[in-house]
Amino acid sequence: MGLDDALIFTRVVECHSFTLAAQGLGMQKSTVSRRIVLLEERLGVRLLNRTTRKLRLTEVGQAYYERCRQIMLDFAEAEQAVMQLQLEPSGLLRITAPIEFGQLFLGRVLGDFMRQYPQISAEVELTSRHVDPVEEGVDIAILVGQPQDSTLIARKMFETSRRLYASPDYLARHGTPRTVEELAGHRAVMLPRDSSRYWPLAGENITCQSVLSCNNITFARETVMAGAGIAGLPVMICGAAVETGQLVELLPEARLTVGELYAVYPSRRFQAMKVKTFLDFLIRSLSLSGGHLLEPPTAGLLPSPS
């Protein structure tokens, strides 16, 4: 009875509602409410403060909820550990990813994965915002840069080099910097993790004139091609524009900060087979691509299931 009551209590807290918890548990609302009252009486404490519109955990209720939630996770993981020994990847895979990575690479990799594992379905959100996979119920959040939350698992997937680029028109109007010191004062187009004061050079503090900042590397590339300024952009999205003369690579000896992609997911001892298999598939595909995310995949490039 104690484990059942812990489950009911946990569902009420997570649903913020007796009614929704009862629906999810297949119980009557009155039954759920009575079980919570009996639980409080048995423990001799008040776990929830109730009003007609809101439920709020007491201090002791918060502590009890955290322990109960961990018990529920441990129980679910114990069952999952046994089941996944015999099951192929299946079920709904929830993924979030940066917009460009999703458009240029993730779409075709996920499509190939789903072709090879037809029991997989997927929900994908392409976004530039930071995503907390625990808070939003996401299986895998692909993020630029390593997250600070130490309770999450962050698996480094990819590192892309950056170079300085400008348009021929910009260079004709403002001059071509021949050394990194000559970048000082040049008009800069900045990406989210770049400083607003300095060029994104590793180990250098060269001041810049920031005229534009944006959270989308494709948008930044387009503004640079139009002559807005100089930007440190990923090589993987600039090769074609350099070949056609729309962009000029500057100061190839300059060392820029790199861009890193991480796959972030909740820290659990047992990982769902669908998550583990897709992560392995995705990282192998990235390795085989050689970082050419804009290029159509070569026949046979993507891995086959083993």
Q: What is the pLDDT of residues 65-119, one digit of tens each?
A: 888 888 888 888 877 766 665 577 888 999 999 888 898 889 999 999 999 999 8
**Nearest by Cα to 274 from 14, 88, 50, 106:** 88
Is residue 252 over pLDDT 80?
yes
Question: How many percent of the chain have pLDDT more than 70?
Answer: 90
Whether residue 41 is contained in a domain is answered as yes
pLDDT of residue 294: 46
Looking at the structure, tell me whether residues 30 and 97 fall in a common domain: no
Q: What is the mean predicted confidence (pLDDT) over 149-167?
A: 86
Range of the domain at 277: 91-156+264-289
Looking at the structure, tell me whether residues 150 and 97 fall in a common domain: yes
Task: Give the range among 82-96, 106-120, 159-173, 269-283 with minimum mean pLDDT.
Answer: 82-96
**Amino acid identity, residue 18?**
F
User: Structural domain tally of the chain?
Assistant: 3
pLDDT of residue 222: 95
233 beta partners: 163
* 138: helix, strand or coil: coil
**Nearest by Cα to 137 from 11, 266, 261:** 266
Question: What pTM was estimated for this model as a whole?
Answer: 0.60
Q: Tell me the pLDDT of the chain averaged across its residues.
A: 85
Whether residue 305 is contained in a domain is answered as no
Q: Where are the beta strands (DSSP E) in the chain?
A: 48-50, 55-57, 91-97, 120-126, 140-144, 152-160, 162-166, 187-190, 209-213, 230-234, 248-250, 259-266
Looking at the structure, tell me whether residues 30 and 101 fall in a common domain: no
Looking at the structure, tell me whether residues 188 and 217 fall in a common domain: yes
**Nearest by Cα to 119 from 93, 153, 141:** 93
Looking at the structure, tell me whether residues 117 and 172 fall in a common domain: no
Higher-scoring residue by pLDDT: 177, 80: 177
Whether residue 302 is contained in a domain is answered as no
Whether residue 120 is contained in a domain is answered as yes
Whether residue 174 is contained in a domain is answered as yes
